[in-house]
Amino acid sequence: MSPLALEARALRKVFGGLVAVNDISFVVREGGVKALIGPNGAGKTTVFNLLSGLYPATGGTFLVGGRRADGHPPHLIARMGLARTFQNVRLFGNMSVVENVMVGWHRRGRAGFLSAVLRLPQARSEDRAARAACLEHLALVGLDRRADDDALSLPFGQQRLLEIARALAGRPRLLLLDEPAAGLSTREKADLARLVRRIGEGGVTVLLVDHDMELVMDLSDEVLVLDHGEKIAEGPPRQIQKDERVIAAYLGEEPEAPG
Amino acid sequence: MARRLSPLQIIALAAVTAALAALPFLVGNEYYVGVAVFVGINAIVAIGLNLLMGYAGQVSLGHAAFIAIGAYTAAILTTRTPVSPWLAMLAAVALSSLVAAVIGLPALKLHGHYLAMATLGFGMIVNIVIIEWVAVTGGPSGLVDIPRLRLAGVALDTNKYYYLVWALVAVSLGLSFNLVNSRVGRALRALHTSEVAAATCGVDIARTKLQVFVLSAALAGLAGSLYAHYVQFVGPGHTFGFGFSIELVVMVVFGGLATIWGAIVGAGVVSVLGEYLRGAGDYDVVVFGLILLLVLIFLPRGIVRGAGSFLPFRTVRPAHQGRSNRRRDAEAP
pLDDT of residue B156: 81
Percent of chain B whose pLDDT exceeds 90 = 39
List of chain B residues whose C-beta atoms are within 8 Å of the C-beta of residue A88: 328
Residue B112 has φ and ψ, to the nearest 5°, of 90, -165
Cβ of B183 and A126 within 8 Å? yes
Q: Which residue stretches of chain A have pLDDT < 50?
A: 254-255, 259
List of chain B residues whose C-beta atoms are within 8 Å of the C-beta of residue A166: 201
What are B150's strand-pairing partners? B155
Cβ of B183 and A111 within 8 Å? yes
Residues B156, B150 contacting (CB under 8 angstroms): yes
Tens of pLDDT, residue by residue over B153-208, are 888 888 889 999 999 999 999 999 999 989 999 999 999 889 999 999 999 999 99
pLDDT of residue B107: 84
Selected residues 191-250 of chain A with any CB under 8 Å from a CB in chain B? none
List of chain B residues whose C-beta atoms are within 8 Å of the C-beta of residue A99: 1, 186, 189
Sequence-ordered list of residues with C-beta below 8 angstroms from that of B312, at least 6 positions apart, any chain:
B6, B8, B9, B12
Cβ of A75 and B204 within 8 Å? yes
Tens of pLDDT, residue by residue over B75-120, are 999 988 888 899 999 999 999 999 999 999 988 887 777 888 889 9
The CATH number that domain A1-81+174-259 falls under is 3.40.50.300
Among chain B residues, the shortest Cα distance to A75 is held by B202
Residues B88, B78 contacting (CB under 8 angstroms): yes
What are A63's strand-pairing partners? A7, A68
B7-318: CATH topology: ABC transporter involved in vitamin B12 uptake, BtuC (1.10.3470)
Cα–Cα nearest to B192, from B119, B258, B99 = B258
DSSP A88: S
pLDDT of residue B2: 44
User: How many CB pairs below 8 A link A and B?
Assistant: 131
pLDDT of residue B308: 54
- Cα separation, A116 vs A123, in Å, equals 6
- Which of B200, B211, B320 minimises the CB distance to A52? B200
pLDDT of residue B152: 79
List of chain B residues whose C-beta atoms are within 8 Å of the C-beta of residue A74: 196, 199-200
Residue B111 at interface with chain A, using a CB cutoff of 8 Å = no
- Cα separation, B66 vs B162, in Å, equals 22
What are A208's strand-pairing partners? A35, A177
CB atoms within 10 A of CB A200: 20
Confidence of residue B260 (pLDDT cuts 50, 70, 90): confident
Residue A150 at interface with chain B, using a CB cutoff of 8 Å = yes
- Cα separation, A240 vs A133, in Å, equals 39
Question: Which contacts (CB < 8 Å, 24+ apart) does range A217-220 have?
Answer: A217/A241, A218/A193, A219/A33, A219/A35, A219/A193, A220/A32, A220/A33, A220/A34, A220/A35
Q: How far is CA B233 from the centre of its chain?
A: 21
Residue B320 at interface with chain A, using a CB cutoff of 8 Å = yes
Q: What's the gap in Å between the CA of B110 and the closest CA on chain A?
A: 13
Residue A119 at interface with chain B, using a CB cutoff of 8 Å = yes
Residue A18 has φ and ψ, to the nearest 5°, of -95, 125
Residue A95 at interface with chain B, using a CB cutoff of 8 Å = yes
Q: What angle do CA A251, A253, A256 make, to 5 degrees?
A: 100
- Cα separation, B10 vs B15, in Å, equals 8
Confidence of residue B326 (pLDDT cuts 50, 70, 90): very low
pLDDT of residue A112: 86
Residue A4 at interface with chain B, using a CB cutoff of 8 Å = no
Tens of pLDDT, residue by residue over B220-234, are 999 999 999 999 899
Buried-state track B165-192, b at ≥16 Cβ within 10 A, e below 16: bbebbeebbebbbbbbbbbbbbbbbbbb
